[in-house]
Amino acid sequence: MPMHLVYLFTAIVFEVVATSALKAANGFTVLVPSVIVVIGYACAFYFLSVSLRTIPVGIAYAIWAGLGVVLVAVVGALVYRQVPDLPAIIGMALILAGVLIINLLSETVTH
């Protein structure tokens, strides 16, 4: 796997961890989850910025946002028991389809 994609997927993982910890941080009133949020977002933005050396910003952000939405929803369902309903699942499937189309068919993505 090309390093720019490794950086992007690393950024997505950090963003998902940080976003998932936001609920547990309870408005930044609980120390450990709050620290996870701050460090997670700092790492996420660092790795996103490194991936942008190669990946066009619009493409990187579409992948970041699309996969982030789906992965945070999965974590929300597993950890917080916030299971999405059918329309939400269909919407997330369409987001994933868009990410796949961008990655597999777009000529603006560095393959």
The one-digit pLDDT tens for each residue of the chain (111 residues) are 899 999 999 999 999 999 999 999 999 999 999 999 999 999 999 999 999 999 999 889 999 999 999 999 999 999 999 999 999 999 999 999 998 898 888 887 665
Question: Measured between alpha carbons, how far is 57 from 108 in angstroms, rounded to an integer?
Answer: 10
97, 43 Cβ separation under 8 angstroms: no
Whole-angstrom CA distances from 76 to 2, 57, 58, 92 are 30, 27, 26, 14
**H helices within the chain, ranges in order?**
3-25, 31-51, 57-79, 86-105
Q: Where are the domains of the chain?
A: 3-105
CA 80 – CA 12 distance, rounded (Å): 20
With a CB cutoff of 8 Å and minimum separation 6, the contacts of 34 are 21, 25, 28
